[in-house]
Amino acid sequence: MGAPYRIGVLPGDGIGPEVVPVAVEVASVAARAAGLAVEWVELPAGLAAYEQFGETLPPQTVETLRGCQGWVLGPVEHHRYDPRRPGMRNPSGFLRKHFDLYANVRPARTFPGVPTRYLHVDLVVVRENTEGFYPDRNVLEGDAELRVTQDVVVSLRVVTRQACVRIAEYAFALAAQRAAQRGRPGQVTAVHKANVLRRGDGLFLECCREVAARFPEVAFDDVHVDAASYFLVRDPARYDVMVTTNLFGDILSDQAAGLVGSLGLAPSLNAGDRYAMAQAVHGSAPDIAGRGVANPTAELLSVAMLFEWLGRRHGDAAATDAAGLVEDAVRATLARGVHTPDLGGTHTTAQFSRALQEALRAATMG
Ligand code: ATP
């Protein structure tokens, strides 16, 4: 084993302290089995940190993350963060922007044994993460939503060539990688509304076309976001990699999660060139927090995506193997019918965690 990767652990709010420790525990078993050395560094963040330190993201946490290769962020209870209050930064938006985690990668896949409306969905939404309509990442100071009179609000959107090109490059590289793994041609679909947002989405589409010309082995098409949302519900198997701007990607990826069973199964990675942050797509699920029934799969598969990213970035087969072991354990456990209530089952988070660890042990003891 080489020097351990330092991976930060920020449990977040709501069900975060229930699902993040399970993800870390199960991922640790997989890492050990694959010969991957990981040092997990638990750090305060979120509403609990605010209670304790008066800051949702203490400076020490951000500083420590700088020395990590990646981290896991639990869900954030967005509506309880008031950016006007000192010390109330939203960790999710802040960390994406601060560490330039420009690609939010959100796969949606069907799992054997999980009842869904569709079979064989296997797509990824690649969402631009640093600009667009999100007011917390658009301006250097202040907020890009302006209430100019009592009854008028102006929301600013930022679209830059640099961000469009690099998100398109990420999507094409991912499609090429998936094509090699699956033994079939890759496809990228750019999702936009360039017929109405002619300049902003026009620039996005122009950049996607330019990048497509550099990846002749990957098929390329584009679709208006409204049509994409229609086709996604009618026939999700038509999509492979969907690349899009921030807001559209946020919406389409939740929709895609709904197609494959539960938000509890939908992982994501926020990736930059230097750091990556694992973060489930779902929110803090306040309706079930504290009851021990949350599904930790999304968080765990997000950690697997982080392992896979580390494997690619550092050319480290052990990290790639650890990711594969996690994936296989999740598949085997779900296929056995070990399901939390969001999937119609009766298993608790703790029971599900034990089943995952048994699956890992069974797989690695040969
Ligand atoms: P937030 O304000 O944090 O975004 P929310 O309730 O608006 O919270 P989610 O937390 O994503 O949004 O929850 C949407 C629904 O999905 C809720 O009914 C929640 O219980 C369910 N859900 C989300 N994540 C999970 C999970 N990991 N396991 C089980 N159910 C989940």
Structural domains in the chain, CATH included, are 1-101+266-366 (3.40.718.10), 117-259 (3.40.718.10)
**Residue 83: what pLDDT?**
76
> How far from chain centre, in Å, is Cα 324?
17
- Is 97 an annotated catalytic residue? no
Per-residue model confidence (pLDDT) at position 1 = 62
State the distance from the centre of ligand 1 to the C-alpha of 36, rounded, in angstroms. Answer: 32
Residue 117 has a pLDDT of: 86
From 20, 282, 301, 339, give the residue whose CB has the most ligand 1 atoms within 8 Å, as the site to mutate: 282
Mean pLDDT of 69-92: 92
Mean pLDDT of the chain: 95
Give the lowest-confidence range in 192-201, 211-220, 242-251, 255-264: 255-264
3-state secondary structure of 245: coil
Cα radius of gyration rounded to whole Å, the chain: 20
Alpha carbon of 209 to ligand 1 centroid (Å): 36
The rounded distance, in Å, linking the Cα atoms of 208 and 189 is 9
Taking the C-alpha atoms of residue 191 and residue 128, their distance in angstroms, rounded to an integer, is: 11
7, β-bridge pairs: 40, 70
Distance from the first to the final alpha carbon of the chain = 21
Kindly report the protein residue whose alpha carbon is nearest to atom 20 of ligand 1: 285
